[in-house]
Amino acid sequence: MDERAAETIFKAENVKKKYRRLQLSSGQWKTNYALDGINMEIRRGDIYGLVGGNGAGKTTLMRILAGLAAPTEGTIELFGESDPKKLHIQRRRINGIIETPALNPALTAWENLEVCRLQQGLADDGRVEEALSLAGLAPRDIEGVKVRNFSLGMKQRLGIAKALLGRPELLFFDEPLNGLDPEGIWDFGALIGRLKESGVTVLISSHLLRELSLLATCYGFVCKGKMTGQITARKLEEKGGDLEAYYLSQVQKSSGGMD
Ligand SMILES: Nc1ncnc2c1ncn2[C@@H]1O[C@H](COP(=O)(O)OP(=O)(O)OP(=O)(O)O)[C@@H](O)[C@H]1O
Ligand SMILES: [Mg+2]
């Protein structure tokens, strides 16, 4: 990933996350490493595709980035800050959606964002309208409509608008394409394109490799809590450009298969 000269925004070094789970049948505790020594680096301007199968640890990693979970071991660095007591200050510069966006169903889209703007102490400078428009929610479709009456895709878009409200430098989206129709996927791609042009850095996890390969500028592959490799889209292109084949070779590598 050396060709990327830009500033490092997020770095994980040997990050582990251990969970203890009660086995109801035996009554014993079982420990499980959701993350087992993750090393990764996101640089300014990256559209970073996080690829991995079910249970690989993608959501856990995003939760640690967002400050919703603490690593059991290892360190994370955000905008050059690695002191765990000071990370929350840098987290004001990031935002995103992990799994499903938290929205108030009894309010309209505009009201949801306005409440959020007031809670975060953000300026009343047209950013609510800007975020709604960037996320592709047209006033004629949402005016006076409570969020409980929104379709899944509309809720997803409103979640994106909510994440954009604070004009973050780094956005993270956990499986943002789930539940979107082809038009929604296309619109999400267009949004990522606009964010890329304005220099925003984005971390996206997805199982939809074909769609991801149209957006990402680099990839990280997670398998059973370990980062098996990182590669830029350009290097992948030099290797034939087939993301699915490359991903499968990473899975094989992690299970001790031939390289
Ligand atoms: N709160 C928790 N308590 C116990 N185990 C957990 C917890 N959260 C996650 N795990 C375990 O950690 C592992 C990684 O889970 P995670 O949700 O990060 O995977 P994922 O890559 O996001 O998977 P998916 O693609 O299915 O969303 C799984 O084995 C999961 O069961
Ligand atoms: Mg997940």
190-211 per-position pLDDT tens digit? 989 988 888 899 999 998 899 8
Report d(CA 221, CA 52) in Å as an integer: 6
Distance from the alpha carbon of residue 58 to the mean position of ligand 2, in angstroms: 5
Residue 196 lies in a domain: yes
Would you state the pLDDT for residue 207?
86
Range of the domain at 204: 8-99+168-254
184 in Cβ contact with 153 (< 8 Å): yes
Instruction: Say what percent of the chain tops pLDDT 70.
Output: 97
> Which range, 106-120, 143-157, 237-251, is most confident?
106-120
179 in Cβ contact with 156 (< 8 Å): yes
Instruction: Decide: pTM greater than 0.95.
Output: no
Residue 124 lies in a domain: no
Protein residue closest via CA to atom 2 of ligand 1: 19
pLDDT in tens, 60-96: 999 999 999 999 999 999 999 999 999 999 999 999 9
Residue 125 lies in a domain: no
Asked if pLDDT for residue 251 goes beyond 90, the answer is: no
Distance from the alpha carbon of residue 113 to the mean position of ligand 2, in angstroms: 25
CATH of the domain at 66: 3.40.50.300
Report d(CA 81, CA 93) in Å as an integer: 12
> Does the CB atom of residue 190 touch ligand 1 within 6 A?
no
Atom of ligand 1 lying closest to residue 56 CA: 21
Q: Which of 23, 24, 32 to mutate for ligand 1's pocket (most ligand atoms within 8 Å of CB)?
A: 32
Residue 45 lies in a domain: yes
Q: Which of 33, 38, 59 to mutate for ligand 1's pocket (most ligand atoms within 8 Å of CB)?
A: 59
Residue 189 lies in a domain: yes
Would you state the pLDDT for residue 259?
43
Residue 49 lies in a domain: yes
Would you state the pLDDT for residue 256?
59
Residue 121 lies in a domain: no
pLDDT in tens, 144-181: 999 999 988 889 889 999 999 999 999 999 998 877 78
Residue 155 lies in a domain: no
> Does the CB atom of residue 245 touch ligand 1 within 6 A?
no
Domains in the chain: how many in total? 1
Report d(CA 152, CA 172) in Å as an integer: 19
Asked if pLDDT for residue 258 goes beyond 50, the answer is: no
Average pLDDT, the chain: 91
